[in-house]
Structure 1
Amino acid sequence: MVYGFWVSRCLQIMAELGIADTIGDVPKSVEELAKSCGTHAPSLRRMFRLLSGLGVLRKDEQSDCWGLTELGQMLRQDNPGSVYGSLRAHGHLLSWQAWGDLKTSLQTGLPSVEKFMGDSFFNYLSAHPEDAAIFNGSMAAYQTLNAPAVVNAYDFSQARTVVDVGGGTGTLISHVLKAHPAIHGTIFEMPHVTAEARPRIASMGLAERCDVVDGDFFASIPKGKDIYILSQILHDWDDEKSLRILENIRDAMRPDSRLLVVETVLPGDNAMHFGNLYDMAMLVLVGGQERTEAEYSALARRAGMKVSRILPTVMPPSVVELVPA
C-alpha cells in the first residue's frame, strides 16, 4: 500500500508515452521503443523490468524484445475496456497535485484541486479543451464496460423515451438504443460535451433515434420522459447540489416515470470496497462523495422521490431506481 503510487505512476507514463500502442502485437526492443517515445533506453529498461515483474510486460530472452501480456493489452487505446483513458486522466499533473494536498481537503472539506486549477473542476475543463478531451476519453472508456452492465441489469423494454442526464458522449445511451430498437434517446449535456457527442452518435447510425440537447441540469431537465438516467453524476456533487439535480428531474418526471441513479453504493464501515477509493477521489477533485443506500434514500425523500429497488451490476456501480413518492 505504501509504494502503490510508484506502480500507478509507471503505468500512467506508459499511457502518456503511448508505449503499449507502439508495441501493439509485435514485441520490440527497448532501444526502438525509447527512440519512438523520446526516452533514455537504459532507464526505460529499468521501468520495463518492474512492470514485467507485475505481469504487464514480458521480455523474450532470445530476441531481447518486449511484448505485452494479456494484462498489458489493457493499456492499448484500441482495446475494449482499456484503462488508457483512466491512466491519462489520473496521471494529469493537477490530479497528482490534488492528492498531494489531501490534507487541505481533510481540513476544509473542499476539493484541493481547485487551488491548482484556479476554478472548479468542471469549469476548468470547459475552458481547457485538451484536458477535457482526456477526461471525456476516460469516461467513455469506463462506460464501455459500465454501459452493457447497466443494460443487462435493468429491463428497459417497457420504455419508449430515455434521457441520459449528463450522458457524456453517448456511450451508455447508445447501448440502451442498440439493445432496444423501439426506444428514442436523448443526451442532455453541457455544450462542450455535446460538441463531441453529436458526431459520435451520428457515426453509430443513431442520429435519427437520439437527440443531443445542450443544457444545464442545475437549471432544468427535458420533461415527460419514461426513464431518466444519472450515471456517475451525483457522486460529483455534495448533498445540496445533488438535491437540486434530483428536484429538477422530479419536476420533469411524469407520475409513472423512473429515475435510474447509476452509482457505486457503499457498503458502510469495516469493508474493503472500490467505492471507498473513489469516495476519496471525489473529495479531492470535485467536492462530491460516494454514498450508502441510506444516504441515497435520504436524498430521494428530500427530492420528493423514494428508492424502489437497487439492482447490482457486474461492475462496481449499481442501478438505484427512484420513483415519485
Structure 2
Amino acid sequence: MHQTHDTLGGPRLAALASGGCISRVLAVTARLGLADILNGGFMTPDDLARRTGTDRDVLFRILQVLAQYEIFERGPDGTFALAEEFAALRRDHPHSVRNRCILLAETYDDAFGALLSTARTGRPGFDEVFGAPLYEYLEGAPDAEQVFDAAMAELARSAAEAVAEEFDFSPVRRVVDIGGGNGTVLSAILAGNPHLEGLCVDRPSVCARSAARMAAAGHPLGGRLTFHPANIFEAVADGGDLYLLKNVLHDWPWHLCLRVLASARNAMTRTAASHVPGAAPPRLIVLEPLLDQEADSVHALFRTVVSGSGAGDFETPEDMRRLLAEADLELLSVTRLSSGHHAFECTPRIPLPSPQTGQ
C-alpha cells in the first residue's frame, strides 16, 4: 500500500531536528530576562524590544516560536505573556531552571557539534569543540563558569531538600561537602540543623566566588558555612563527622572516581584517629542520579559528550556497590530519595584507628 509522507514520520522527524533551534530560543529568552520582565502580565513586542534592547522583528519571531510551543501565551491584541506552567524560567522563581536552560542550550549544545566524532572515537566532543576538558575550560571562561555553577545549584535544590529531610543530623557537628559548588546542599542542611557547621570543598575559583557572594548578601549562615579550595582527587579536609559527595562521581571515569573516594576515605580515617573516645566514626553519603531506566538515555549521552565514554561507568545500584567496595568503603545503607537520587551511606572498610591506642 502506498504510504503518505505523514505516515513515514517526516513531519515528526523535522520537528525533532529543529530541537536545537528551540533550545537556543529558550537560552536567549533566559538571557534577555523576558520571563522576568513579563512577571505574570502581557506586553507588546514593541515594549519588550525596548526593554531588552533587541530588534523588534527578530524578537517578534522569537515570541511566535515561544507561543507555538505554549511557553508563552498570545493575547488577542497581539501581546504576549509567560505561561504559568513555565514560570520556572524566571530568575526569582523558587524552582528556577533559568541557568540550566542556558547551560544546556549554549555550552552543552556547542559540545554536541562534535557528536559524530564522539560516536566514532568515544572521546568527549566537549574537548574537541572547546580545546580543553569541561572544568579546565570553565576556569578560563568566567561567564560560562558562573552559568554552570548556578545551573548546578538549581540541580542541587531537590537533592538538598531530600537529604535534609531523610537523614538524622542530630549526632553530627560538622558536615563536609566534597564538590559542593556554591553550598546549596549545605545551606539546606544547616538551615534545618542550627547546631551544625559546614565546610564546602570545591575548585578555588568556585570557592572564592561563592564566599564573596555569600558575604555580599549577608547570608544568615555565613558564620557557619565556609569554603575550602582543594583538588578533591588529591586530598579532602579532615574534621568532618559526615562527608557528602553529590553528583560528583558521574562526571568521571572509574579510576578517577576511586581517587575521589580515596580522598574522602583518608580524611575520614584521619578524623577518626583524632576523635574523642566513644565518638561515632565519620560517615560518607554518596548521592547519584543513577541511569538505570531507559528514560535516562539522554542524560547518559550528555555525560558521554561532555565528559567522555568512561564517565559515569556506573548505572545501577550494583555498579555503585562495586565501586565503593573497590574504594575500601563499607556500605551501611542505600536509600532512594524523593529527588530520584540514590544515597549510599558508608564508612571506611579498613578498621579505623582506635582513639585510645592509635592502633
1:148 maps to 2:161? yes
1:13-162 maps to which residues of 2 (within 5 A)? 13-61=28-76, 63-92=77-106, 94-162=107-175
Aligned pair in 2 of structure 1 residues 11, 324: CA closer, same or farther (>3 Å)? Answer: same
- CA distance in structure 2 between the partners assigned to 1:279 and 1:310 by the alignment: 22
Matched-pair contact (CA < 8 Å) for 2:249–2:257: yes
Structure 1 residues 157, 265: closer, same or farther in 2, change over 3 A? farther
Q: In the alignment, is the contact (CA less than 8 A) between 2:324 and 2:331 conserved in 1?
A: yes
Q: What amino acid sits opposite 1:260 in the alignment? A: I
Q: Find 1:293's aligned residue among 312, 317, 341.
A: 317
2:263 to 235, 239, 248: 248
Give TM-score scaled by structure 1 length. Answer: 0.91
In 1, Cα distance between the equivalents of 2:294 and 2:70? 24
Q: Is 1:196 aligned to residue 209 of structure 2? A: yes
287-296 vs 184-193, greater mean Cα deviation: 287-296
Q: 1:178 is matched by which residue type in structure 2? A: A
- Structure 2 distance, partners of 1:50, 1:129, is 30
Identify the residue that residue 218 of structure 1 maps to in structure 2.
233
CA apart distance, 1:194: 0.7
- Pick from 272, 285, 290 the counterpart of residue 260 of structure 1: 285
Cα distance in 2 for partners of 1:146, 1:54 equals 29
Q: How far does residue 38 in structure 1 lie from its aligned partner after superposition?
A: 4.3
What are structure 2's unaligned runs of at least 5 residues?
1-11, 273-280, 350-359
- What CA deviation, in whole Å up to 9, does each residue of 1:212-243 have, x standing for no partner? 11111011111242111111110111101111
Q: Distance in 2 between matches of 1:201 and 1:229?
A: 21
Distance in 2 separating the partners of 1:210 and 1:40: 45
Q: Residues 165 and 230 of structure 1 are in contact (CA less than 8 Å); yes or no, is this contact kept in structure 2?
A: yes
| SS of equivalent to 2:156 | helix
Q: Distance in 2 between matches of 1:236 and 1:176?
A: 24
* Counterpart amino acid of residue 78 in structure 1: D
1:22 is displaced (CA, Å) by: 2.0
Name segments (4+ residues, structure 1) moved above 4 Å: none
- 1:31 offset after TM fit, Å? 1.9
**Cα drift, residue 321 of structure 1:** 1.7
Partner of 1:186: 199
CA apart distance, 1:139 = 1.2
**Deviation (angstroms), 1:43:** 4.2
**2:29 maps to 1:8:** no
Q: 2:300 is matched with which residue: 257, 266, 279? A: 279
Distance 1:158 1:49 in 2: 56
Residues 136-163 of structure 1: per-residue CA shift (max 9 Å, x gap): 1111222233311221233323211110
Cα separation, partners in 2 of 1:117 and 1:100, compared to 1, 3 Å:
closer
RMSD: 2.0
Q: Which residue in 2 is equivalent to 1:314?
A: 338
Residues 234-280 of structure 1 show CA distances to partners (whole Å, capped at 9, x for unaligned) of 0111101111000111111146221111110222xxx333x432221
Q: Distance in 2 between matches of 1:309 and 1:5?
A: 41
**1:3-24 deviation digits (Å, cap 9, x = unpaired):** 1434323222211222212222
Tell me if the contact between 1:174 and 1:201 (Cα under 8 Å) persists in the aligned partners: no
Choose 314-323 or 35-44, whichever is displaced more. Answer: 35-44
| Shift in Å, 1:80 | 1.3
What whole-Å deviation, never above 9, does each CA across 1:34-85 have from its counterpart, x for those lacking one? Answer: 3333444344334333332433111221x42211111221111111121110
Matched residues in 1 for 2:171 and 2:298: separation? 36
The sequence identity of aligned pairs, in percent, is 28
| Greater displacement, 52-61 / 172-181 | 52-61
The CA deviation at 1:314 is 2.3
- Counterpart of 1:315 in structure 2: which amino acid? S
Partner amino acid, structure 1, of 2:192: A
Q: Are 2:325 and 1:304 aligned?
A: no
Residues 167-186 of structure 1 mapped to structure 2, 5 A cutoff: 167-186=180-199
**Partner Cα distance (2:195, 2:96) in 1:** 30
CA 316–54 in structure 1, closer or farther in 2 if over 3 Å, else same: farther
- Residue by residue, what CA displacement relative to the aligned partner does 1:292-314 show, whole Å, maximum 9, x if unpaired? 11111111011101333222222
SS of the residue aligned with 2:228? strand
**What is the rounded CA distance, in whole Å, between the counterparts of 2:71 and 2:219 in structure 1?**
33
- The total of aligned residue pairs comes to 319
Query: What do residues 150-189 of structure 1 show as CA deviations (whole Å, max 9, x unaligned)?
Result: 2123332321111001111111101111111111110111
SS of residue matched to 2:294: coil
How do 1:225-240 and structure 2 match up within 5 A?
225-240=240-255
How far 1:319 moved relative to its partner? Answer: 1.8
Would the aligned equivalents of 1:183 and 1:209 in 2 still touch at CA under 8 Å? yes
